[in-house]
């Protein structure tokens, strides 16, 4: 398996623009997680899905952030409008339904908003 795939790997955009981050989980994994990593706050869970349904979005910072999972192999995290304080590395992770609940992380998307 190719592991969790994220795109783009790097994104530079101007304040006010819409940004869409993409994630393909490991095939067969029922859980998908979006995290954000910053120097100030470390790694924080934003939202997670089970069987394509959002379970907990309490970590989403504000209404400018939205996430969708239209099918088992694809999820998006959208920021509209983007702000400089959204600059961070965004990670996607997936986990199987059964077993140890171990989470497998993608390589991340480094977002810079100028």
Partner 1 sequence: KQEVTQIPAALSVPEGENLVLNCSFTDSAIYNLQWFRQDPGKGLTSLLLIQSSQREQTSGRLNASLDKSSGRSTLYIAASQPGDSATYLCAVGGSARQLTFGSGTQLTVLP
Residues in contact with partner 1 by the rule CB under 8 A = 31, 33, 42-45, 48, 55-56, 91, 93, 95, 100-108, 110
Nearest distance, CB of residue 26 and partner 1, angstroms: 12
Nearest distance, CB of residue 36 and partner 1, angstroms: 11
Nearest distance, CB of residue 81 and partner 1, angstroms: 27
Q: Which is nearer to partner 1, 17 or 112 (CB)?
A: 112
Q: Which is nearer to partner 1, 3 or 16 (CB)?
A: 3
CA separation for the pair 27, 11 (Å, rounded): 26
Nearest distance, CB of residue 7 and partner 1, angstroms: 13
Q: Which is nearer to partner 1, 27 or 80 (CB)?
A: 27
- Cβ neighbours of residue 38 under 8 Å, at least 6 residues apart? 87, 88, 89
Q: Which of 82, 104, 84 lies closest to 31, judged by CA?
A: 104
CA separation for the pair 97, 32 (Å, rounded): 10
CA separation for the pair 41, 36 (Å, rounded): 9
Q: Which is nearer to partner 1, 10 or 83 (CB)?
A: 10
Is there a contact between 110 and 91 (Cβ–Cβ < 8 Å)? no
């Amino acid at each position: 398996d190719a592991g969790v795939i994220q795109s783009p790997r790097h994104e530079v955009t101007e304040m006010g623009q819409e940004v869409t981050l993409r994630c393909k989980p490991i095939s067969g994994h029922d859980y998908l997680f979006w995290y954000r990593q910053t120097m100030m706050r470390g790694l924080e869970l934003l939202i997670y899905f089970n069987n394509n349904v959002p379970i907990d979005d309490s970590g989403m910072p504000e209404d400018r952030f939205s996430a969708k999972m239209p099918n088992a192999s694809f999820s998006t995290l959208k920021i509209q409008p983007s702000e400089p304080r959204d600059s961070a590395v965004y990670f996607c992770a997936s986990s199987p339904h059964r077993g140890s609940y171990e989470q497998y992380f993608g390589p991340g998307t480094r977002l810079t908003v100028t």
